[in-house]
Structure 1
Amino acid sequence: MTRRLTEFSHGAGCGCKIGPGQLADILARVAPPRHPDLLVGTDAGDDAAVWRLSDDRALVATTDFFTPIVDDARTWGRIAATNAASDVYAMGGRPLFALNLVAWPTDALGNDVLAEVLAGGADAAAEGGWMAVGGHSIDDAEPKYGQAVIGEVHPDRVLTNAGLRPGDHLVLTKALGTGVITTAVKLGTPTPGALDAAVASMCTLNADAAAAAQGANASACTDVTGFGLLGHLRKMLDASGVAATVWADRVPALPGAMEGLADGMISGGTRRNHAWVEERLVVTEGVTDGDVMLLADAQTSGGLLFGATADRAAEAVRWLVERGHPAAVVGIVTDDVAGRITIARDGSTPAAG
């Protein structure tokens, strides 16, 4: 009997990441590297490193890999490669090429399945205009796949997770809920149609989202992946020295996500995310536990989250929606206690400042 790919996973997709609190503790013990041409390093926990080559060119370097999140090998490969390139887009760049990263139980799964995974990664690269050119593989009891992606960006156009300003509106470019849905898949109880919607979202490149952020003159940007919207927003707020209000009723959710939360489909990664941000949260009347856990849901290949002035944010959302993306303005940056996240409903929040 052939085993399902997801049966090999101790955690689905980006939900298998080391928790944000534990990772922060580890990185705090490592001195950040310094160099005049290292434009973005590890200081603020950004999405990728940026290295200046000249006055008008810089390289963006990142890597991401994870355990199987779906059972179709080619789809998993495509999701993993799409997710890996997302960090380049979050920095405002475009991918150039990638190296495949493979850990594989050859005896249990065989070469044909791995070939399908690599083909899926090549599919994502071809759509995004980059190439997968080799890589590295090891034998491992648990399958893992991803890519190390190299991109480029103009040094003056680099987006980071620092720079949010009171009054900025927060734009989210994809719906949340991939963690809930893939957890349900792993347990064999997904809502009908939910997996198809989640896969379509996870296979969507963030190229349009990056273009929208650049066009909106975004003050700061990150991608929403394993630490959930709340975890990645916390990192942005800490780096920027500001606070934010998130309007729970404006946050788009994938079909089946809220039903999955109601049924208890909450991954260990999502619970770690919530625990890491809980001390920062102010949850107002009318916000449900499900609302909060959706915001903490560990995403795989999620969208971008960026700040921009109200008019630029609204224009970016219109542009993205016209192109089929479920983008929305989901909150506002405030001058409250730095790092505080207020979760409200109905968009009822006092103006920043």
Structure 2
Amino acid sequence: MTTTDAAVRLTQYAHGGGCACKIPPGELERMVEGLTGPATGDLLVGVGDDAAVVRIAGGQAVIATADFFTPVVDDAYTFGRIAATNALSDVYAMGGTPLVGVNLLGWPRDVLPPELAREVLRGGADVAAAAGCHLGGGHSIDNPEPLYGMSVTGLGDPERLLRGDAAVAGLPLTLTKPLGLGVLNNRHKATGEVFEEAVAVMTTLNADASRAALATGARCATDITGFGLLGHLHEVARASGVTAVVDAAAVPYVDGARRSLTDGFVPGGSRRNLDWVRPFLSAEGFDEEELILLADAQTSGGLLVAGEVPGYPVVGELVPARAGTTLVVR
């Protein structure tokens, strides 16, 4: 269901869109270096993973995260659904269940009507309801660009977390959603074309994938968002002391992604992702276009799991660490 005034294209009121608007990973690392220490005591997971995790009484852990971004699609209700799905994803990526979310809304109130903001919030509320997650108010500001997301608190088993630093050599790599969302969203912003498959992917909760991963005994996962497959996989491999090998031919893509790349619709974030991982990447024989797709900045992407998860494609494997190389594309 879409109810946005067709004359208003939300993506035209923001300089970028979705998770492609993230601060570049290398720049972000320099920005936060030295500001926080390692997780200790009941803080089980701190900086460097999908969410913070704190052990509480009763054999449980609280999982806390926040995520928001500028419009990735023109339709306000759909934008709200995508942003909320993406915000909930960090809890699923840690192996948890969302408990309560609060809205985070920025709106150019003198430029865009409040009715559109209401549609964004309605989209988020519908996703929270579908996830069985309470929604309790939030915070809003008058902002030059529209933005929306949620702060989400979840619960998990502290002994069965999915962590980004727990990858082990010898395990396969499973990807639970296709790539290519960045280039398709970039094309949508430029042309107004609507890609229904991309919208369906971005509004699919990672709840089932998370439960399936936990059922296999997996202990390591992350969700693929603004840093792309290669960027997030580099983070996992570096934190875990392994090297990740990607089988390029096995990686699935949303229909139209390759054509959009060939037509030049590449987010700046995707190029920055590739530049960031290039010093740690071995990809002999692969051209720039293939590597850009593997580094494409995703919005509300799937889970990348260290282990085989039934029903989802295996896209590579983890091998013992190779000096100076965290990523191999073959």
Q: Which of the five TM-score ranges fits, normalised by the shorter chain?
A: over 0.9
Q: Does 1:343 align with 2:307?
A: no
1:144 paired residue number = 147
Moved over 3 A (4+): none
Where does structure 2 lack aligned partners over 5 or more consecutive residues? 1-5
Instruction: Determine if contact 1:12/1:179 at 8 Å carries over to the other structure.
Output: no
1:262 paired residue number = 262
Q: Does 1:7 align with 2:6?
A: no
1:294 paired residue number = 293
- 1:335 deviates by 1.1
Instruction: Determine if contact 2:160/2:219 at 8 Å carries over to the other structure.
Output: no
1:172 paired residue number = 175
Instruction: Determine if contact 1:55/1:155 at 8 Å carries over to the other structure.
Output: no
**Quick one: distance in 1 between partners of 2:166 and 2:141?**
40
- Residue of structure 2 aligned with 1:21, choices 22, 26, 32: 26
> Which residue identity is paired with 2:36?
A
Relative to 1, partners in 2 of residues 1:93 and 1:272: Cα closer, same or farther, differing over 3 Å?
A: same
Counterpart mapping for 1:83-98 below 5 A: 83-98=86-101
**Quick one: distance in 1 between partners of 2:74 and 2:85?**
17
1:317 paired residue number = 310
State the identity as a percent: 49
Instruction: Determine if contact 1:171/1:317 at 8 Å carries over to the other structure.
Output: no
Q: Does 1:154 align with 2:160?
A: no
The number of equivalent residue pairs is 324
**Quick one: distance in 1 between partners of 2:38 and 2:243?**
28
> Which residue identity is paired with 1:48?
A
Where does structure 1 lack aligned partners over 5 or more consecutive residues? 319-326, 345-353
> Which residue identity is paired with 1:49?
A
**Quick one: distance in 2 between partners of 1:242 and 1:221?**
14
**Quick one: distance in 2 between partners of 1:279 and 1:258?**
25
- Partner of 1:107: helix, strand, or coil? coil
- 1:281 deviates by 1.1
**Quick one: distance in 1 between partners of 2:275 and 2:220?**
25
TM-score computed with the length of structure 1 as normaliser: 0.89
- CA deviation string 1:216-254 (max 9, x = no partner): 211311000000000000000011000011000100000
1:31 paired residue number = 36
- Partner of 1:157: helix, strand, or coil? coil
- 1:2 deviates by 4.3
- Partner of 1:179: helix, strand, or coil? helix
Q: Does 1:332 align with 2:306?
A: no
- 1:165 deviates by 1.2
- CA deviation string 1:143-171 (max 9, x = no partner): 00000000000111111101211111000
